[in-house]
């Protein structure tokens, strides 16, 4: 684990129990997915509010910063502090911790926030900087092949995996799986959230927190 990052462990239950009326007029307890706002501050600057189940708030914040290319290495982060009373997560950079200056005092970081792109799809989101242009440069290495058998195996593992979706529905799940060795196709990380983009971000954050390279 990346021990240099000080984090809270502020996971909250992903579901809540309510009383519903079924088709026979009976009162029955059911589980529904929770959804909570979490405002992200990076070096005292408010960036956005994320709607989330709240199961992986620290990893979600870190992964969002990583996938937005606002940080390029976990060593840039000193601490992640989640406070559900204020519905906020405060991320502190190593620069601020060591020098007392925020990363926003550098021209490069400040410029990333000047350009925003509104994305389409399920809902509406915002990406910062030249992230959309960077996507065109991404190329998958021919050294990593995914066989049909492994893909079917992954789908089977995900289908059988215990999930919030089976309890309450209304969530999306993403998995990081092995593609090598005897455990090929096995689930390494599995995250569910109200949006699959959140789940992807949380997995990216967990990979950094646990020192997983993805190789």
Question: Chain-centre distance of CA 86, in angstroms?
Answer: 20
Distance between CA 123 and CA 117 in Å, rounded?
Answer: 14
Q: What percent of the chain has pLDDT over 90?
A: 63
Angle between helices 196-209 and 57-67 (to 10 degrees): 90
Size (the chain), residues: 215
pLDDT tens-digit profile of 28-48? 999 999 999 999 999 999 999
pLDDT tens-digit profile of 159-169? 888 888 888 88
Interacting residues of 208 by C-beta distance below 8 A, sequence separation 6+: 2, 62, 63, 66, 74
Distance between CA 94 and CA 102 in Å, rounded?
Answer: 9
pLDDT tens-digit profile of 36-80? 999 999 999 999 999 999 999 999 999 999 999 899 999 999 999
CB-CB contact of 204 with 63 (8 Å)? yes
More confident residue, 134 or 208: 208
Distance between CA 172 and CA 14 in Å, rounded?
Answer: 12
């Amino acid at each position: 684990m990346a021990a240099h990052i000080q984090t809270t462990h502020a996971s909250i239950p992903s579901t809540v129990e309510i009383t519903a009326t079924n088709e026979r007029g009976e009162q029955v307890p059911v589980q529904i997915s929770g959804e909570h706002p979490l405002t992200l501050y990076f070096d005292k600057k408010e960036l956005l509010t994320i709607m989330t189940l709240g199961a992986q708030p620290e990893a979600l914040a870190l992964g969002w910063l990583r996938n937005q290319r606002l940080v390029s290495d976990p060593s840039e982060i000193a601490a992640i502090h989640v406070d559900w009373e204020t519905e906020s997560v405060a991320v502190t950079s190593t620069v601020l911790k060591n020098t007392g200056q925020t990363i926003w005092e550098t021209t490069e970081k400040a410029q990333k926030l000047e350009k925003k792109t509104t994305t389409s799809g399920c809902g509406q989101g915002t990406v910062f900087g030249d992230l959309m242009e960077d996507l065109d440069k991404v190329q998958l290495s021919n050294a990593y092949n995914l066989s049909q058998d492994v893909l079917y195996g992954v789908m089977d593992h995900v289908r059988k995996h215990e999930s919030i979706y089976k309890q309450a529905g209304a969530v999306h799940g993403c998995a990081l799986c092995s593609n090598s060795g005897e455990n090929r196709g096995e689930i390494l990380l599995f995250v569910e959230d109200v949006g699959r983009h959140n789940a992807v971000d949380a997995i990216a954050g967990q990979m950094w927190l646990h020192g997983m390279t993805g190789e």
